[in-house]
Every structure is written in structure tokens, then in C-alpha cells.
Structure 1
Amino acid sequence: MDHLSSKCLPKGRVDRVYVIRYTLLFLGMCTLVFVPFLLTHASLIKKIDGMSQYIVYLRYMGQYLRRALDGFVHGNFSLPSYDFSIGMGDDIGQIVRFHPFDFLSVFVPSAYTEFLYEGILLLRFYAAGLAFSVFAFAMVKGAAWMNVLSGSMVYVFCGFMLIRVVNHPIYAAPFIVLPLLLLGAEKAMKKEGCSLFVFSVFLGFWSNYYFMYIMSVGLLVYVLVRFPEAFPSDRLKNLACLFGKMAGAYLLGLAMSMMTLYPMILRYLSSARQPQGTDALELLVYADKRRYIAWFLNLISPFQSSGNGTNLNYAVCVLPCLAVLFGFSWKAYRSLKMLTIACLVVLLIPGAGYVLAFFNRENSRWVFLLAMCCAMAVVATVDCFAALTKRQTVWVLASSGGFVALVLLQTLLTGLNVYNAVAAAELVLCVGLLLSPIVRGRSVCAARRCVLAVTCISTLAGSFLTYAPGFGAVTKQYVKAGNTLSGFQNYVRSQGASLIEDDAFYRVEGFNVRHGRENSAVFSGYNGTSEYNSILNADMMDAMISQNNLGLGAITTMRGLDGRPVAMNLAHARYFTVYTSYGTGSVPYGFSPEPAYGNRKVSVYENSHPLSFGYSYRAFITREHYDALDPLEKEMVQLEAVVAEPAKAGMDDPADALRKAGFVEIERPSGQILEETVSLSPEGKGLTYEAGIVHAGRKSRMTFRWKEKAGYDAYLLLEGLDTPDEISNLTLQTKGCKKTINVRSEEQLYNIGKDDYLVHLGYGASDRNRKAKLVFSKAGDYDLSGVKILYMPMETFEERIDALNEEPLEDASIEDGLIRGTVHFSTPRILVLSVLQAGGWTWKVDGETVSAGGDGDGARLLTANVMYQGIVLPEGEHSILLTYQTPGSATGTYIAIPAILAFIVLWFWEMRARRRMQHA
């Protein structure tokens, strides 16, 4: 490749001077890029992902590390691995993201987490540009510092960084690791050592294994493209040697990361986040044909996306630089051209995006690869503008003219798109300047200064159009500065939990969880029922889906238990929080009529007839019979019999062993669910209803009327409900109650396959007429095939609870990751604990470890009630001990420690060899 080599970054003055220049430019650009946030008083924390999980986990990580260090000082070297405040209890290491930069949280008090979060985000931007600069200096012979600065600004402030990374800071990981990974590969090919390559692989897997998968695919393509140039002769022999060396180095880096990676792999494989199938045609051709043109416009247009997160939005100089690159003869910069073409081909083939999304629905999180190519094209071609060839001039004019023509055509057909129009104007000015006598025919310094200035100005214009009110207005999606932590502190569940004075173990459920506050329990340190995370407990999701519980909104979002009495008792939710002004309209059956705790803003109601943390059964129902029931019947049957399944997949069904042990088997609950059809009016406020379609205007309302029955818990069933958009939030309002119904279409990435939505309305103390309003927040045509009211009888509810509490877990000591207690069983019984089923728990009964399988006459572990821990025990007195260890952590550590030692030996050996060469 002409002008490209693996020559290392020159040492000495250039190194230090460039870093100073880069730092000053970066600081100035950052200040101006994020001015719209300052002007709108917005933080860099998005209301959804940033608020709901990233800042919560960053704050938690700082607290965790400080507690761990304090423990080390006092001789306690154990690290907690489980926390009941994470969702309904979860693994700390699998939920809290221990990314490299996040370790800085140990030095910052919790009160300043918002500033820490923003500082780490900008540090990620800075590190990405610095990593790119190292790669660019190493690969381009005699690269001018201004050219590398231009490339780094293109790379750091591209659309993916400004939109996706600011939303998800962890998405910056590949921008930092990729340049180091490719440079490590270059060094390995040039026989300059493998230590950088090994470390980059380790860093990639540690930072984010999903992006490391994408980088690994890119790495393979990169090496195949570069190999012919790196080895002009004896290629077959060199290919075998290179493959062996790089494969070994890659596996060493992979092994070093196993301490955290192996448990994550096990977690992923046990989750609902599995590869998703798709139609063959969808893998070949985009359904939206506009994407084949839109990518070209969005290459340099700010803010725009050509679909599924394809935020390119590079500085305007990228297009003429790519034109100059391809205006060279094919041999010049061949590798860079081939890699750029490969990225563009991937951009045009849905199947390629599907593969890079790890065989899930196509998305464009891989476009950091294209950003790398475009930024390198800028570094490699800037000097050429001082003396363009005729062919290069034609390429520049043709590409620029094509872009402007497309923008004009779009304007004629669909109207003015301000973002594309601004990009076209910038392009005309940029090309006019680069082809003018100011640059052309003069020294390369003029071209360098011009491109650097254009890059900075275009970046600032693009960021302004992305963030500023009246344009992209992205800042509206971010939390007001200084309000992040107070948003959790003032939240109804957090405030309610802070009022409770109870030393026993309990969980807190609450009124209609606000999206973005699902992790309030983690923030405030109480045990809740809601969680927002990329991977939720699979058994919990199974239970929620099978019982059609509204609390599970998506495969990433658990908002609680919808105030359903049976579900709350099974979860040991003993307190319910609600805004005082709402009264008791949303308080579930079985809770005290008057608040146990409260103030003017928040009231806390206590479960007056709670199920014990550990309760026991004499009857069971098989999963087959359970699955044959309707959702409410599935919930109701658990008051009479445990849903018995194997503790681990692939093990024998426990039904035969339970029958032999004398347990009673039932097939359905003794009570009966009543059902009434609701007649729908053809007209509502701002909407009409006909033939199963709701033609809704924005904030239109549909009114339902039903008769509340004394002694029954009522539920609203919305059948065949679907949204015209990927996501719509409908609001159900009754007297004293307000609930959000999160409707997701089949095409939405995180949908859970719902067609029917079951909403808990509350208990009827007397027969009376009731009404509810269903508010449609977005205009459109919604599918709704019918509406029913379902009634669950509650007359035997307390009796069933008492029966389960007859022989409970006694003398219980419940801590994070450690549970102790005793049972006194008069007959063989099935003990169930309100602890989510998870592979890391180890049971000991009477001092003996119990395996997942077992003798039918002795202790046998179960998955109980779809999502909880259960065990079959013989009659008598038994001591119970449960301990938790992250699944795979021991195995991962055993692999990682020798690998890390091997890396240290490799690094010292390479350092010694390098010194010998210098002295030779």
C-alpha cells in the first residue's frame, strides 16, 4: 500500500507536541460541540438508558468498590456477588458494568456521580481520538500532524459518537479498541511482537464482548486484505505461520478476559436474548428501498439516519477525500479502498448487518468500522488537494455533483430537508475552496489548514443541528443538569421505601413505575420488583409472559408486578407505595386500608396477610397442565399447588418422584375465573372504532364501562392490541389509579410477543358500576379485536395463604447471597423461597450439599412456580443454607490467571528482544 506502513509513531518531540495540540483542539471542540446542552441546561445523561441504568450502575459501582476497599483494610477479602436490590435479586457482576474507565468511580463521592458520568463520557471521546491518532501516525508514512488531527476529529465527532455514544457511553469501546487492535495486528504481521495484539483482544472482550465480536469479524477481513501487501512472497508458508501466531495470540487475549467473559457468556446463553430468525428475503433486500440512497446523503448530512441506527454524519470533507482516494490508481491505497468498499457493501446488504448483529435483527452498530475507514481516508489524501490529478478532480466533482443533485431531487419530490440542504451547501463551499487557487497549486500546508478548518466548522455545524432546539433537538431527550440524582430521590417508590421501619426482609411494589425509574431500588438501596437491563432473568420473564403480567414491558424492562395480589405475595412484596393524592384506588387486595407509613406526598400500605419468605406445599401441578391454563388461572393455581419443574434444563421431570412421595397432583385451580365482554362504542373523544380498528387522534380517549363485583379482583383484557408504530404508550385511567400500557409491535427489537394485554383494575368491595379511560398518546390506526373484564375470586385468598404459611421457613436470616433458616415438616413438603431461580445458588440441607437431581425420597431441587427456588424435603427438622457464587466465575478465574501470567512473560520477553536489537 503506497504511503502506508507499520512504521511506529515517531518518539520524542513530535509525540509530546502532537498530544498537546490534540488535547487543546479536543477541549475547544468539546466545549463548542456540546454548547446546546449548556444553553438548554441539559446534562449528558439521557432520560431513558442514561438515567435508568448507566448512571445508577456507575454510582453503585463506586459505592461497591469503596466498600470492598474498606473491607480489605479490615481484613475482609470476600467480594459480594449478589444483591437483592437489583431487580428481584441478581448477580452484581453481570448487571453492573465494570468497564475500565468506570473504576474512576471509586474516587468520587456518590453525590457527584452526574459530573463523574459526564467526565468519563468525554474521556472516552478523548481516548478514541488518541487511539486513532496512534494508528494513523503508525500507518501513514510521514503523516502531517494537521492531517491526523483532521482524521481524529472526523472519527471522534461522527454521528454515531454524537448520537449513539452520548446515549450509550459503552458504545465508545470499539472506537478506542479498534485502532489498537489493528495496530497490534500490523505489528504481528511485521514480526514486531504480539503483546499489543494480545492486550487489545483482552481489552476488547473486557470492555464489551458484543462489540468485540464485530471487531473480530472486521479484524479477519483486515488481515486478509493486508496480507498480500505484508507478504509479497512465500505467501502460503507465511499464511500458515501468521495464522498460527495470531490465533494463539488471540486465544491468549481471550483467555485473559475469561474472569468476566465466561460468566457473561453463561448468562447470555441462559437468557431470552438469543439469536432471532428472519425471512430470507429480508436478509437480501431492504424493505425500505430508500435506504439504498439515504446512506449516501447521510454520509455527510448531520443528524439523519438511513435506518436502524445508521448514524454516519461525518464532516463534509469526507466525501471529497473518499473521491480523491478512489481517484488514485487501484494499486495506490489498495487496502484502504478494499476495506472501505467492504464496509459500504455491508451497509447495502441486510444479511451482513444481521450477521454483525450476532444473528439478531439487523442493526448498524458496526458502523464504527466505516468511521475508521473514512477517517483514514482523510489522513491519507489531504495533501493531494495541493496537486490533484485530472482523474481525481473528476471524481471529486462527480461525487459532489451527484450529492447536490440528489438533494435537489429530494427537495422537489418531498420538500426541503434542512439537514441535507446544509450538507449540500457545506459541500459546495468545501469543494469550491479545495479546488480554488487558495489551495490548488500551492503548498500542502494550505491544503492541510483548509481541511482541518473545514472539518472543525462542519463538525460544529453538524453538532448544532443535531442537538439544538428547533432542529434535531436531541437535548430534549436528556435530563436537566443537576436533576439526575434528585429524580430518583424524589421518586414515589424511593420516598416510600425510605419511610419504612422494618428490619425484616421484604420487597416494595408500587404505583405505576415511571419509565427510567425501574432501577430506583438499586439507587436507593431497597428491595424492589422492577429492573431495566439488557439481560433479565429468563425464568422471571417466562413466568411474567405466561401469566400475561403487564409489569414485563419488554425483554429489557421489568416494571413490577402490576399490583396483582398473588404475584406480590409470591414475591414477598410486603409494602405498596402510592402518591397520597391518589387515595387507595390502586392499593391491592390484602393490604391495610390505612397507610402504615406516609406523608403528604407518599403513602405506604402494608400487606396485612403476607406470604412468608419461605412457604411450603403438599400439592403440585406439572408444567404441562400449567401451560394449558389461562393466564389468571396460572396465577391462581399457585395458591394451591407448586408448579414443579426441573431445577436445570435437561434434567428429569420431577412429577414421577413427587407422585411416589405422596404429593397431591392437581390439574387446575379450584376457583373459576368469570368473564364479561365489554361493548365498545363506535366513537370516542378524538377517535372512532370499527371492524377491530381504532382510528385514534393524538391523546384521544376510549371509555370502558363495567360492573365491579364484590369479592372479586377485576382485570381488563385488551385482545389483539397492536400499534401502528414500533412502540406506543397507552394510559389506562380509573378513579385513583393510572397505568401505562407499553405496546410494542412485532417488528420492535425488544418485544415479548404480546397480542393481548391484561391490566389489573383492583378489588371490588361491593357491586357497583365503574368506568375507565384508555388514552392513546399517538395518532394512528390501532388493532383492537375486543375488550373483556375478567374476575378472579378472592373469597379463599386468606385461607390459601394460611395453608402455605403453616410450615414455613423459620428463624430466617436473609442477606445478599446468603440465606439461612430451619423448617419443621410434619410430612414431606416442597419448600419455596421468594428468590429467583439462578444457576449460582448452592443449597445445603443439614450440612449436606444438594445437587440439582436427587433421590425421590430425599432432598431434590426444583424450579418452583416457574421463577423461584424450590426444594423437596422429607418430614422432620432441617437446617437450610443457601449461598451464591457467580456461575462460571471460578472456571473463568482458573483460565484467566495463567493467561495473564503468560502475557506478562511474553511482554518481558518482547521488551528484552527489542532492547537487544537496539544494542546490536
Structure 2
Amino acid sequence: MVHLILKRLSRDCTVRSYLIRYTALFLGMTLLVFLPFWLTHRSLIKKVDGMSQYIVYLRYMGQYLRRVLSNLAHGSFALPSYDFSIGMGDDIGQIVRFHPFDFLSVFVPSAYTEALYEVILVLRFYAAGLAFSVFAFGMVKGAAWMNVLSGSMVYVFSGFMLIRVVNHPIYAAPFMVLPILLLGAERMMKKEGCLLFVLSVFLGFWSNYYFMYIMSAALLVYVLIRFPEVFQSRRGREFAGLFFRMVGAYLLGLCMSMMTLYPMIRRYLSSARLPQEADALELIVYEDKRRYIAWFLNLISPFQSSGNGTNLNYAVCVLPCLAALFGLVWKAHRSLKKLTIACLLVLLIPGAGYVLAFFNRENSRWVFLLAMCCAMTVVVAADCFADLSRRQVMWICALSGGFLFLVLLQTILIGANVYNLTAAAELLLCLALLLGPAVKGRGVPAARGCILAVTCISTLIHSYMTYAPGFGALTRQYVKAGKTLSSYENYVRSKGASLIKDDSFYRIEGFNVKHGRENSSIFSDYNSTSEYNSILNADMMDAMLSQNNLGLGAVTTMRGLDARPVALNLAHVRYFTAYTAYGNGCVPYGFSREPVYGNRKVSVYANEAPLSFGYSCTAFITREHYDALDPLEKEMVLLEAVVAEPVQKNGADPADMLRKAGFAEIDGPTGRIEREEVALPSRGKNLTYEDGVVHAAKKGRMTFSWNERAGFDAYLLLEGLDTPDEISNLTLRTRGFRTTINVRSEEQLYNLGKEDYLVHLGYGDSDKETKARLTFPKEGSYAFAGAKILYMPMEAFDERIDALNQYPLEDEKIEDGRISGTVHFDSARILVLSVPQAEGWTWTVDGKTLKPEGSPGEGMYLLTGNIMYQGIALPEGSHTISLTYETPGSMEGRLITALAILAFCVLAFIRMRSRTRRNHA
């Protein structure tokens, strides 16, 4: 396919020679671009996203694929679909994303995943430049190979690629797919076949459906702009025909991806990450007016962002090339001009970014579209510098003069910005070369060579100033080379899990999970309570938010259960890990006071009377009464009754059925939460506190006292807390340990809408006064209305755990995706399993498969128990229970994909037959 398209190469360059030149230049540039990583002994794996998500998923995918192949070799065709090590248990499709390059993981042992990760990242860069080259040669007749090389370097090493893609490798998907998608659209408009277009749509949805949404919007604009140029006559009839052909081909490519896409869509629609409302004014005008100028300053400046991830940072030649392009008569390259203007308009209108972010908070992940336009501008405008018209010179002087003036004005009014000053110096040197004797009078080859040299040198300057110490220093945010896997192996939870000798099913909670290690359970294969993923279980988030549990740090981040005794038992946590140096001050109530396993680094404490994996109750509370309680009251009531909700969000309320079946109904806990005001000091170390505002210098500290009470679990409530930045990680030190409080402002993309933060302080063995120190990490003014200590009585805790354990699930067999056991009830009871509610589970009771609405006539009714868990109401007697999991939508997705692939093969066969007939005619 690539060979058929690259046949349009200019006469002085064959496919092979271009590939050799491109590969040689790419490898040389890559070595120099990423040189700061090697000089500072850093890997290409970022400490947060790369470490916590992508390398873990890549390693897991290799293991998963090898397991599937092993099963197939032994005659088992069942695909594993559920794993309890993913958070508290989740669909494997959450982390096995099937990005095409990730399939290489099947060939690489887990121990070499770090090297594989870096190789795949470089391959993505390489493929992006190759895809651009294919498009450039396909669109520009007689395009010079040197100009295409220049454009590909602009495209591949743009700021978005250097900053965002190295952080999030999956963000490279649109850079690879977009050129092929647009070329496929061109071929359809010119009636040269639809196969390339279908394949590109399939690849786009398969790689990343979010970016394919953006590319689909861009595709529509592209076709509308290109159509009048491609069709000079009979436009009405041609448009109708093109519309139906392209829609059909698009739907075919979409259907081919349904095997993975359909389950993803179903999960997304059931998640908490749905479209968010935005203020109308914010969609029209940026709140930060500097963004209207910043994009222009940062267009060719290294490292700088123009707000909300708008990393442009193109090679310096882009600005004079844009000027040369627009200095041509309007008809010349009219489509490219219109597309560039469209991208710039999107850049200036917040509402456009909001729409392209799928109606969520405005972001600039779409700027790969502008990178495509700028790179194509370099391809078509490079030759112009051999013989510039007067109009082009005026455009170059105007744009370059405007840029230099803004940099000078910025320096006078605000101060020197080394990145913008560097760009200004680069621009002056670039203009001196392009407008001076180096090019003038020497013809087109000199212009092409000069543009390529300037592009490469500018790119290397930008990459150095982005990564190197003393400038952007982004290498500091990346893991030390060779330490990625070992840092997981040496992590406190992983170390603790490796010490435990227990063959039964259990979960592990760790104290104060370090950000970036939330997915350690996936790496080390143990069952945990933390997870870091773009889409978390919506019911789990609902439960955590309703109880104001600090363990939920963001829409994407579950750090655990904040060591809360009730939450730990409901989740069937039987072991708690902590640094040995912390002592047992952080150990939750109900766990052993001395470690049952441990060493000098980590200690493991056992839950001495854990709640069963499957426990039962005869009382319930409605969601309405539950919501009327305070957060800690909500936790307390879960030891006395089950919060009963329908399995499906729009399902019938089970309350009436439960009342008729004789279940007791309560409206709150029998215990009472006690409260005590905290006297906050007006001054601390490097901070002052007055009128509900903390004015802090960097690492300002506030020290206050609170009272431990014997027999009570204590919690600190921080009220009306907000941060001057988007994210601030406050730290609380008390009782010999430290807790991190992740505070996010309303503007932060993944915020939870919280103003009050409830921090678990632990159980009091005696009455005494204790000091606490709250540290504010960044300089600024923090809103902070006040603080209270809340006390949960624990005197009846053990008795209530025993009551819930009286009629448990027995003889249980718990495997990934399969659960079975028996119950023996002396009366009708509600059974709750410590398995997060999810659509893919199927219940079978006494050999009968239950639907979500259950079998009320037989006293069986499926429900969501305690906000986030699997539950079922059962009549008295003995019952055999089994649950099996299948990815929701997987069967339908596979069927649609199979039919679509068959249709594609038929189209390909017809196309091949017709081509053969034409060749023989």
C-alpha cells in the first residue's frame, strides 16, 4: 500500500532512496534529540503516567498475549476477561488496549519491558514521520524529497510530540493515522478506491477512539474544503455520491473496529467521565487573555505552552514558511491556507477546544492538526525562497517583525524569557540565511538545503532546551534508566505482598500510596484497593465520594481506602502494609498491633477478625436515607444494613420488594459521630492564617493540636479547602506518620468537585493531646475555612462484623472472572460480595441464571449493595451460587467485526478483479 502511494515521488528520488535518507536522518535526529536523557541517565518513562500506567499495561499485555497463546496451544479458546489485580477487580480490556505496536510485547520477556517501551516510543515517532511523508508525496505533485524531509522533521519533533507524546505514548496515534486518513479521503474523492480510507478509519478507532473523534471532525472540514477544488463541475450530483460512498466506507471501518471499540464505548458511557457543562462566556473568550498572544510567541519558541497543554513549539522555519505561503496568490495552495486558518481559529475559540475535547474541559490535544498544516506549509513553501515575490517578502517582514516586536515588548514589560529570546535569535539567523546570499541567486537546491538545515538545527535547540537541566529540565520528571521495574519490585506494597504466605483470596491495603504506584498490584500480581486509569468504576467512585474518602484522589486516581476500618472490611482487606519506620501508629483498628510478616523496610499487619468475602444482612436502607447522612454516618450504617439499589441505574427500586419480603428497614446508624473544633493558629512557619485564607510561602507549615479519644476512630475534616494552583499535595504529619492530601481546584481537568477533605487519623487507645503539622507545598493563598475532628465510636464494631459474618458465603472458589459458593440462611437475607458492581457479571443461583430484575416471585432479586458491590436478596434455605464475567458487548463486537472484515475482503476482491480486467483490456 505504501509503495503504491510513494510512486508519486519526484523523479530524482526513488522509494528506496527516500526511505534510506529519511531513516538515516530520523535516527541521527532521534539520537541527538533524546541525548539529554542519556546524559542524565534517564529513561523515556515519565514518573507519573508512564510509570503508573503505560509500562505496567505494556508488560501486562505481553503476559496476557503469551497466556492466550498458551491456552490456544492447549486447546482452550476462552479469552480471559477479568482480573482481580486490576484495582479491586476490573475488565482486562481496561489495560490491554491493543495499540498495534504494543503487540510486540508478546515477543519480549517481562524483564526487558523498559527497553521495549522505549523502542516502541521511537517506532511511533518514526511511523508518524513516514505517514506524513506518504501524504506529502501523495498530495504535492513533484514534491522534492528534501522538502518532505524538512516537513517530516517539523511534524515528528513538534512540541506536542516532544512533551505530550513522550509523556503519553498513545497520543502519537493521530500523528500516524491522520495523514493516511486524509490521503484515503483524497483517493475516494478522486474515485481511486475506498480501501485505504476504510483501513485508516479502522486503524484510527482501533488505536484511540478519542483521537479518532477529533480526526473525524477534521476529516469533515477537510472534505468540505477540498471538494470544490477536486470537482469543478456537476458538484451537486458528485457531492451526493461522495457523501454516500464516504459514509459507507467510514461505517465499514468503524464496524471493523467494533471488537474493541464497542466494549470501550459501553464502559465510557457507564463511567463518571461524561460531558461536563461549561460557562457560556468561557466558551467564547479565554479567561486568561494572554493566550491570544502566547500562541504566536510560542509557535516557534521551545518548551513554552500557550495554556492548557497547547504545546506548539515548531522549528523556526515554520514562521517564514507560513508568511511565504500566504504571500502567494490566494488560489495557490488554497486548501492548505483555509485549513491553516481553520486551525488558528480553533486555537483562538475556547468553545472549539471544548467540542474537540468531547464536551469536556477545553484542552489542546487536537493541535496535531495544526502540526500537520505547518509541516505541509514547509513542504510547499520551501522552494519559494529561491525566488520570493515582493508580496511574499512583505508577509515575511510583517510576521517576523511582529514576532520580534512582541518578544521585545515582553522583555521590557515583564522581563526576559529565555525561550522566546532564543526563538527570536533563531528567527533572525534563519532570515539572514533565507533572504541573504546563502540562498539568493543560488537557486532552488540551495533554498531546500537551507530549510532542511535550519529545521534540523532549530529542532535540536528546541529539544535541548525542553529536556536539559538549566532549561525546561523535563528529564527530571522521568524515571532513572534501568530503575523502572526495580522500583515496582522494591515498592512497599509489592514487598509486603511478596512476604505474605496465604493461599486464600484477600486484598491488601497500603498506607499513603505514592502517586505513580497505584497500579503496583497489576505489576506484582496481588489484589489491592488502588488503581490509576483514565476510566474508573463509576459505582466505586460514587461510594468514595459519598463517604468523602481521601483515597479517591481524582477522576482517574484511586489510591486506596484511606485505611478506614469499615471500608477495609467491606473490601475484604486482610493485610495492611506500612513502612517499618512508621511503627503501628498508622495501622487501622481491627488489625494486629504487631506485624505478622516483615523486615527492616516493610511490615505487614493482619486483620484479626475480617469481614467475609460474602457477608449477609437482614436489614436495608434506601439510597434516599443514606444520602441524608453525613459521610462517616454513611460508613457506620453499612455495618448494620445494606444500601439497596438496582443493578441498572434506570432499574426499579428494590425497596418495595425488600419490604414485602420482610426485610427490616432503617434510616440511619445507631451510633453517633462526635465533633470537636480545631483551634487553628494565626501564624505558622512561613505562613499566616486569617479570614479563612492561608498565605503561605513555599513549604509553609501550620501546627495545631487535637485530642485522641480512647475507643474512637478519629478523622480530620478540612473545610472549604482550595489551592492557588490546579493541584497541590498538602501533607499532614501526626502520630508518627504522614498523609498526602491531594487538593485540586475547579479548573483542574480531573477534579472531583470537593471543597471538604476528610483525613483518617487512626484509632485512639487512650485519651491524650496530639500534635499535627499541615504543610502547604507551594507559595500562594489557600482558601481554608476551618477544621474539625470527627470521632467514630468503635465499641460495637467487632460485634457488628460478627453479625454480618454469621451467615457468610461458604466453600467459596474465587478466580479471575469466576466466583462460586454456597449459603445457608435461616431466613431471607441480602448477600453482598466484595466484588465491584459491573455490567458483565452473570449470576446463577441453584442452576438458574438471573436477569438484573431477578426473580421476585421466588424471593431472588439482584441489586447493587452498599453503593459499589454485587448484591442479591435470597429466601431462606441453602443456595448454590456462581458468578461468571464476560466483557459487556464483547460478543456483539466480535460478530460485527467479523461481518465487517468479510465485507472488506469482498470489496478488496472486487477491486482486485476490476484492476486485473483493466490491465488486460
TM-score range, shorter chain: over 0.9
| Aligned residue in 2 for 1:611 | 611
| Aligned residue in 2 for 1:289 | 289
Q: Deviations over 1:568-605 (max 9, x none)?
A: 00000000001111110100000011111111111100
Shift of 1:310: 0.6
Contact 1:271 / 1:535 at 8 angstroms: preserved in 2? yes
In 2, Cα distance between the equivalents of 1:694 and 1:188?
62
Shift of 1:780: 1.1
Contact 1:135 / 1:183 at 8 angstroms: preserved in 2? yes
Is the alpha carbon distance of 1:892 and 1:12 closer, same or farther for their aligned partners in structure 2, counting shifts above 3 Å?
farther
DSSP 3-state at the match of 2:14: helix
In 2, Cα distance between the equivalents of 1:853 and 1:12?
71
Residue identity (%): 76
In 1, Cα distance between the equivalents of 2:421 and 2:807?
74
Contact 2:41 / 2:481 at 8 angstroms: preserved in 1? yes
| Aligned residue in 1 for 2:904 | 903
Shift of 1:388: 0.8
Shift of 1:7: 8.2
Contact 2:13 / 2:145 at 8 angstroms: preserved in 1? no
Contact 2:536 / 2:555 at 8 angstroms: preserved in 1? yes
Q: Deviations over 1:745-777 (max 9, x none)?
A: 111110001111000000011111111111111
| Aligned residue in 2 for 1:479 | 479
Q: Deviations over 1:101-124 (max 9, x none)?
A: 000000111111000000000000
Q: Deviations over 1:495-534 (max 9, x none)?
A: 0000000000000001110000000000000000000000
Contact 1:324 / 1:381 at 8 angstroms: preserved in 2? yes
Q: Deviations over 1:345-374 (max 9, x none)?
A: 110000111111111111110000000011
Q: Which amino acid aligns with 1:631?
A: P
| Aligned residue in 2 for 1:142 | 142
Shift of 1:70: 1.2
| Aligned residue in 1 for 2:775 | 775
| Aligned residue in 2 for 1:266 | 266
Whether 1:357 aligns to 2:354 is no
Contact 2:6 / 2:15 at 8 angstroms: preserved in 1? no
Shift of 1:918: 3.4
DSSP 3-state at the match of 2:831: strand
Contact 1:88 / 1:528 at 8 angstroms: preserved in 2? yes
Shift of 1:913: 2.3
Shift of 1:8: 4.2
Q: Deviations over 1:283-337 (max 9, x none)?
A: 1111111111111111100101111111000001111111111011111100000
| Aligned residue in 2 for 1:43 | 43
| Aligned residue in 2 for 1:236 | 236
| Aligned residue in 2 for 1:890 | 891
Q: Which amino acid aligns with 2:737?
A: C
Matched ranges for 1:725-874 at <5 A? 725-856=725-856, 857-874=858-875
Shift of 1:562: 0.4
Q: Which amino acid aligns with 1:489?
A: E
Contact 1:94 / 1:263 at 8 angstroms: preserved in 2? no
Matched ranges for 1:146-157 at <5 A? 146-157=146-157
Contact 1:822 / 1:878 at 8 angstroms: preserved in 2? yes
In 2, Cα distance between the equivalents of 1:478 and 1:916?
57
Contact 1:6 / 1:139 at 8 angstroms: preserved in 2? no
| Aligned residue in 1 for 2:405 | 405
Give the unaligned 5+ runs of structure 1. Answer: none
| Aligned residue in 2 for 1:431 | 431
In 2, Cα distance between the equivalents of 1:309 and 1:130?
25
Whether 1:917 aligns to 2:910 is no
Contact 2:47 / 2:477 at 8 angstroms: preserved in 1? yes
In 1, Cα distance between the equivalents of 2:736 and 2:87?
26
In 2, Cα distance between the equivalents of 1:526 and 1:181?
42
Q: Which amino acid aligns with 1:723?
A: T
Shift of 1:95: 2.8
DSSP 3-state at the match of 2:616: strand
Q: Which amino acid aligns with 1:915?
A: T
Contact 1:651 / 1:853 at 8 angstroms: preserved in 2? yes
| Aligned residue in 1 for 2:630 | 630
| Aligned residue in 1 for 2:560 | 560
In 1, Cα distance between the equivalents of 2:678 and 2:89?
39
Shift of 1:698: 1.2
Shift of 1:11: 10
In 2, Cα distance between the equivalents of 1:665 and 1:67?
48
In 1, Cα distance between the equivalents of 2:93 and 2:11?
40
In 1, Cα distance between the equivalents of 2:679 and 2:560?
30
Shift of 1:855: 3.8
Shift of 1:384: 1.2
In 2, Cα distance between the equivalents of 1:191 and 1:363?
36
Q: Which amino acid aligns with 1:225?
A: I
Q: Which amino acid aligns with 1:873?
A: L
In 2, Cα distance between the equivalents of 1:737 and 1:834?
29
Contact 1:302 / 1:423 at 8 angstroms: preserved in 2? yes
In 2, Cα distance between the equivalents of 1:93 and 1:804?
34
Q: Which amino acid aligns with 1:344?
A: L
Q: Which amino acid aligns with 1:549?
A: N
| Aligned residue in 2 for 1:84 | 84
| Aligned residue in 2 for 1:173 | 173
Contact 2:9 / 2:142 at 8 angstroms: preserved in 1? no
Shift of 1:74: 1.2
| Aligned residue in 1 for 2:278 | 278
Count of aligned positions? 916
| Aligned residue in 2 for 1:456 | 456
In 2, Cα distance between the equivalents of 1:919 and 1:589?
84
DSSP 3-state at the match of 1:581: helix
Contact 1:706 / 1:789 at 8 angstroms: preserved in 2? yes
In 1, Cα distance between the equivalents of 2:629 and 2:542?
15
In 2, Cα distance between the equivalents of 1:821 and 1:513?
33
Shift of 1:6: 11
| Aligned residue in 2 for 1:641 | 641
| Aligned residue in 2 for 1:66 | 66
Contact 2:8 / 2:141 at 8 angstroms: preserved in 1? no
In 2, Cα distance between the equivalents of 1:833 and 1:659?
21
Higher mean alpha-carbon deviation, 237-246 vs 902-911, is at 902-911
Contact 2:821 / 2:882 at 8 angstroms: preserved in 1? yes
Shift of 1:9: 4.8
| Aligned residue in 2 for 1:683 | 683
Contact 2:8 / 2:142 at 8 angstroms: preserved in 1? no
Shift of 1:737: 1.8
In 2, Cα distance between the equivalents of 1:11 and 1:533?
50
Matched ranges for 1:541-556 at <5 A? 541-556=541-556
In 1, Cα distance between the equivalents of 2:915 and 2:826?
75
Contact 1:9 / 1:134 at 8 angstroms: preserved in 2? no
Whether 1:443 aligns to 2:438 is no
Contact 2:7 / 2:15 at 8 angstroms: preserved in 1? no
In 1, Cα distance between the equivalents of 2:315 and 2:12?
31
Higher mean alpha-carbon deviation, 495-504 vs 777-786, is at 777-786
Is the alpha carbon distance of 1:54 and 1:65 closer, same or farther for their aligned partners in structure 2, counting shifts above 3 Å?
same
Q: Runs of 4 or more off by more than 4 Å in structure 1?
A: 5-13
Contact 1:6 / 1:186 at 8 angstroms: preserved in 2? no
Shift of 1:13: 6.6
DSSP 3-state at the match of 2:634: helix
Matched ranges for 1:703-722 at <5 A? 703-722=703-722
In 1, Cα distance between the equivalents of 2:25 and 2:529?
47
Whether 1:539 aligns to 2:539 is yes
Contact 1:6 / 1:187 at 8 angstroms: preserved in 2? no
Contact 2:545 / 2:552 at 8 angstroms: preserved in 1? yes
DSSP 3-state at the match of 1:127: helix
In 1, Cα distance between the equivalents of 2:919 and 2:122?
38
Q: Which amino acid aligns with 2:204?
A: G
Contact 1:388 / 1:440 at 8 angstroms: preserved in 2? no
